[in-house]
Structure 1
C-alpha cells in the first residue's frame, strides 16, 4: 500500500448517500471525493490521483454502464466497484462484462458498509497485483530485448572475426606455390566461411534460435564456389531449396556437411574438367528435411563407404552423428548422389 491515504472517487447523484459513503470509508482510512454525474466523474479520473472508483448504476440522466464503456478505452483507469439498488443479476453481469471488478447491492444497514468496504479493498489489491504483474512483464520484455541486442552484437562480431580469418587464409593460399597446399587452405577457408555465414544469418534474424536453412545454404554454396574458383577450379553449382527453419545447432552441422560434400565433388567428380554439382533442400510429407548433393561425374567404385578416410570424411561423419542421422551414398550409373534426411526432435517455430 502507498504511504498516502488511498483516494476513492464516488460517482452518484444521491448527495445524502455520498456523504454516508464518505463517513464509512473515512473510518477505514480512505480519502473520498464525491461527484454527482458521469461527466464530472470522468473529468476527475482524467486528472489522475484516483486509486479506485465507486460507481452507481443510476446517475439520473445517464447510466453507470456508460461510464464503464468510456473508461474501457482509457489506459491505466482505476478499478471500479459497481453499486446498484437493483438485485437483478443481469445488471451486475453487464457491469462486470463492461469492466467493473466487483459490484455491491445497496441495502439499508451494516451489510452495505461491510460489503462495500470488502469490495473496495479487494479491488484496490487486485489493481496493485495487476500493476505489479505488468511491471514484472515489462522488465522481462526489456531484459529479453537487451539480451537479443547483445546476442546480435556478439554474432556480428564473431561473423566479422571469422570473415577476417577467412581473408587471411585466402591471402595465405594465394602466396603458396604448391597446388596441394593451396587446395587444403581453400578447404579450410570454406569451413571457416560456413560457420561465419551462420553467425551472419543469426545477427540479421529476428529469432536467434532458428535459421532460414535455404537462405543460409544458398549463401554458403555461392561463397564456396567463389572460394574454390580462387583456388584454380571453376565449379558449376546449382542450388534449389524451399524455405525451412532449422534450429541453430543443427544448421551448423548441415552447413559443415554441405561444405565437405560440395568441396569433395569439386575436387574429384570431374577429373577431366568441370561439370554440374546440384544441391537441393526439400521438406518431406512427414516433416523431415531432405538434403541432396549430386553430380554427374566419375562416381565412386562402390567398394566400402564413400565417406573417405581424410579430415573431410571425419567431419561429415561427426556432423551426421550430431544430427542423429546417416549419410546415404546412392550407387548410380553416372555420378554420385548423397542424401541426408534430418528429423527435428521438435518443430522449429
Structure 2
C-alpha cells in the first residue's frame, strides 16, 4: 500500500483508552508497549528481544507528512504510475506466473489484472520494497499521535510474527508505514491473510511472488471482492447529463439504468448491466468518465486515496486487455495551496472536508459538488479556479 495515505485494510478499532496511549517520552512509550505485550501473553524474554533495539525514526514521520503525489490530478498521477515499461512488465509477469494467477482465480476469484496493478504500484514487481526498519516504523507511528489506533495493533502483530520466526526486528525492512513484501502488507494483514503459495512451509512475502500474490488475493477476498465481477469501465457522458448525479455515493441499482439517461460504454457493451453502479468523473465533466461497479469499492479497502484507487483500477483494466482511456480536455484544477484555501472556505461554510491537507478526497469532493450545484456551476465535483473565486 505504497504510499497511499495508509491502508484501510489495517484500520482496526481499539478501545478509547488504548487509542489515546501515544506521545510522551519515546522510551516510556516503549516500556508501556512491552508491559501491554506481556499482559497479553507474550513472554518477557521474547518481548525484551523484540524491543531491544527499537528506535524512533524521524524519516518515517517526514514521509508520513509529505505525500504530495496525491495532490496531482488523475491524468497526471496515472501517467506517472502507468509507464510503458510497467505495462510490459505487468504483461510479462502475468504470463510468467500464469499458474499462480489461475489458482488465485479458482480459490479467491480475484482477477489477475487487479493483483498485477497493485504489485506494480506497490513495489515495481518486487524491485523496490522499501528500506525502512519495519519495527522502528511501526513503533514510531504508534507513538505519533496522528493515527495510533491504526499502528499500535500492528506493533503487537509484528511481535507475533517475530514469535513465529517470520520477522527479524533488526533486519526486516519495508515501507515507511510498516508494510512488508511485494504487495506491501501490514503485519496484522499477514497474520490474517498470509498464504504459503509456493508450498515451502513459510509465508515469505518479500521473496516469493506466489506467497505475496496469493496473500494479497486472500486479503482482497476477505475485504469483500466479488468473484467474476468487473470493477471499472470507461463510458461517455452526454452533454445534457445531470452532473450532480455523479459520485460513488449516488449509485443506481442496475448499471443499465445509466444507459436510459444517455450514458454508454466508450467501447463495446456494459460489462454487467444488472449490477449496482456509479458514475465517476475523476477530473471533471471534460475529462475521462467511468462506471464503477461494486468491486471498485474494495480498492478503497486497500488504499484510501481516490486518485490512487482510480488509477489502479484503470491500470487493472488495461492489463486485462482494455483500451487506453480518452483523456478529454479537462479544465485546469487547483494546486495544493489553492486547494487548501478552498478547503478552508468550504469548512467555514460548515462542510466536513476531512482536514485542510490540499488533497481532493471524498469529503472535499462532496462539498465541492454541493457548492457547484448551489452556484449553478457544472456539479462534477472537480474544483476549479472559478469555484474558488465564487466562494
Asked if these proteins are the same fold (TM beyond 0.5), I'd say no
Which has the bigger relative contact order, CA under 8 A and spacing at least 6?
2
Higher strand share: 1
TM-score relative to the length of structure 1 = 0.24
Which of the pair has more CA radius of gyration?
Answer: 1
